Amino acid sequence: MKRILFILLLFSWNLDAQTIFRVNNSPGVTGVNVYTTIQDAHDAASDGDIIYVEPSLDTYGALLCTKRLTILGNGYFHNQNENDSYETKQSILEKIVFDIGSDSSVVRGLTITNQGGEHGSSIEGEGVKKIQISNCRILGAIYFDYYYDYDLNINKRCSEWIIINNFCKELNATSIIQAPHPTNLVISNNLMEYAANIGGGSLIYNNTLYATGGNSGLWSIYGSEVFNNIIQTTSCDNCGEPITLFTDAATVNTNVYNNILIYDDMDDGWTPQWKLPEGNGNVSNVEKGSVFIIPNPDIYSEYDWADKNYILNPSSPAKGIGVNNVDAGAFGGVNPYVLAGQIPYPIITDFKSTGAGNASVPLQIDITVKGNN
């Protein structure tokens, strides 16, 4: 019954002429345009079509995308956020590779593991433009231009990708976004580990970045704008004078302003390893215990995976420090992070049924729906 209601609501919001495909691997679910793997649905679709990846306990496999498609799922962390979807399973893929022909594709509301990634990646792209990835939970790295090829052919570079409103939980100790060649990216309002090697003309703003392994959350950013971010630096006992960020040889012609750098003093007087460039509205070396709604959330702890833990404390030092006095971090700005990866379609938040009915005793159903716009 939950599956039927999920589909009815999604179909009600699509009045265009595109063909709608379903991906569902539950036993006994069949019909026109219903497939059990994401690749089979892709292969049957045409440019401009829509694929709904329905909630499941199992993955729908990996995807090599060579068409312009819209692929939609139902978000994540449903058990951890109040007034969320009645359906708690997720729409899970192993990996997506965007190849030639997939320009302008849109992916929303998926959980993407790194089970199929050669380099621990969840998403890869080569020579593809205008991909939008939003409201997804991404467990591995995002690699542009098949990072390990180091191919300098400019015609194969990615550009104009929009990566917004994602929860990027890294599991492989590699950077969440590795982009040595792509240009004109928009990376905003994500909760993510860190970003590196970003090409010229990119906008990196209103992210909450969580550094690891002696890193700072952002580095090797070329010819881009970096603003309104919360950047966590690593800390240590007796670090000495912090190193100024964005002064490495690979960071050239990048404007850095209205960011806040936070650190964890480990309750033992530890000090930060990094600091932001002085001036331009940047604030450095704020102890993170006062920043979020709970003290010291840890994106690497299974107990802190709930995205709601990164909402700002009402008196947070990150409030109002952004450009035009917006809040820094993923929940600030004009496109604030949306809890649980919910896309702007109606969702069922509660469902009750008498379970059976007949001609004399009708089946009674009570459904609660949230608009989610």
Q: How far is CA 136 from CA 64, 106, 163, 212, 324, in A?
A: 18, 11, 10, 22, 28
Q: How far is CA 76 from CA 64, 197, 259, in A?
A: 23, 28, 28
- In angstroms, the CA 112 to CA 138 distance is 5
- In angstroms, the CA 333 to CA 349 distance is 27
SS3 108: strand
In terms of Cα–Cα distance, which of 282, 153, 276, 149 is closest to 219?
276
**What is the secondary structure of 24-72 as a DSSP string?**
--STT---TTEESSHHHHHHH--TT-EEEE--BSS---EEEE-S--EEE
**Contact status, residue 160 vs residue 128, Cβ threshold 8 Å:** no
Which helix (H) or strand (E) segment is 112 a member of?
A: strand 111-112
Q: How far is CA 41 from CA 12, 16, 58, 158, 307, in A?
A: 20, 19, 16, 25, 31
**Contact status, residue 285 vs residue 263, Cβ threshold 8 Å:** yes
Predicted TM-score of the model (pTM): 0.86
Dihedral over Cα of 346, 350, 356, 358: its sign: negative
**Contact status, residue 235 vs residue 216, Cβ threshold 8 Å:** no
For 341, phi then psi, to 5°, come to 65, 30
- In angstroms, the CA 165 to CA 188 distance is 7
Per-residue model confidence as pLDDT tens for the chain (373 residues): 444 444 444 544 444 558 999 999 999 898 999 999 999 999 999 999 999 999 999 999 999 999 999 999 999 988 776 656 667 899 999 999 999 999 999 999 999 987 655 567 889 888 899 999 999 999 888 887 654 444 455 566 788 999 999 998 643 334 456 655 678 999 999 998 877 777 788 999 999 988 655 556 677 788 899 999 999 887 888 778 888 888 776 677 899 999 999 988 766 778 888 889 999 999 998 998 899 998 878 765 655 567 889 999 999 999 999 999 999 999 999 999 999 888 876 666 666 676 776 777 787 777 776 666 6
- In angstroms, the CA 249 to CA 293 distance is 36
- In angstroms, the CA 354 to CA 2 distance is 14
- In angstroms, the CA 112 to CA 92 distance is 6
